[in-house]
A and B are shown apart, each in its own frame.
Chain A
Amino acid sequence: DAGITQSPRYKITETGRQVTLMCHQTWSHSYMFWYRQDLGHGLRLIYYSAAADITDKGEVPDGYVVSRSKTENFPLTLESATRSQTSVYFCASMGRAYEQYFGPGTRLTVT
């Protein structure tokens, strides 16, 4: 299906474990983004990527790692999960009119 997908949709992990959230888009958009959504904070940018092999930090990058070897994929890794990283994570890509298209989100719980 065309669009932007995220997997898994729900994840429970333990403190200290590594976890990777996947994001895949079929539009060949150059720009992709990772956000976290927490109550009272709206969406906050974690990392973004302008193209394959080009990534940059956003507002809240600490504790996260990204890579982008292919245009269509933009995985987000929590190297050692902490309870403060419990959140809903959204991946997005940007279209030609500078609008963002969002994936369905991943709800991550760190116990």
Chain B
Amino acid sequence: AQTVTQSQPEMSVQEAETVTLSCTYDTSESDYYLFWYKQPPSRQMILVIRQEAYKQQNATENRFSVNFQKAAKSFSLKISDSQLGDAAMYFCAYNFRNQFYFGTGTSLTVIP
């Protein structure tokens, strides 16, 4: 069974600094998709970034980037120049054959 592990239940970062959220997953497949979702206090789930496993290049979306290490089954999210609006729960997700598996989330606090 596929599992997704986020080992950091809580993280904090100073405003304007950089923070990295960790995610590991377990799979025997070679072609799959990985995602980071953000859930602010409004509860709405918002897609932050996606990565196709067959692409070696790490995905980037503005201040958000990933470090995808396929062999290590690691998919970390880096947030640069952190802003107060980045405070939220962040979920890592794995998709294979249209079934999604989510980690338990990391709560990010941004300190002014």
Contact = CB atoms under 8 A, between A and B. Distances in A.
Interface residues of A, number: 24
A88 B47 contact: no
Given A98-B33, A99-B50, A100-B100, A43 B44 contact: no
Contacts of A43: 91, 93, 100, 102
Contacts of B99: 45, 48, 58
Contacts of A98: 33, 50, 95, 98
A50 B97 CA distance: 11
Interface residues of B, number: 20
Contacts of A105: 43-44
Nearest to A98: B33
Contacts of A90: 45
A101 B47 contact: yes
B25 interface: no
Interface string A17-30: 00000000000000
Interface in B73-112: 91, 93, 95, 98-105
Given A33-B100, A90-B45, 4 more contacts: A45-B99, A45-B100, A100-B93, A102-B44
21 contacts: A33-B100, A40-B104, A41-B104, A42-B4, A42-B91, A42-B103, A42-B104, A43-B93, A43-B100, A44-B102, A45-B100, A88-B43, A92-B45, A97-B50, A98-B95, A99-B47, A99-B50, A100-B45, A100-B47, A100-B100, A105-B44
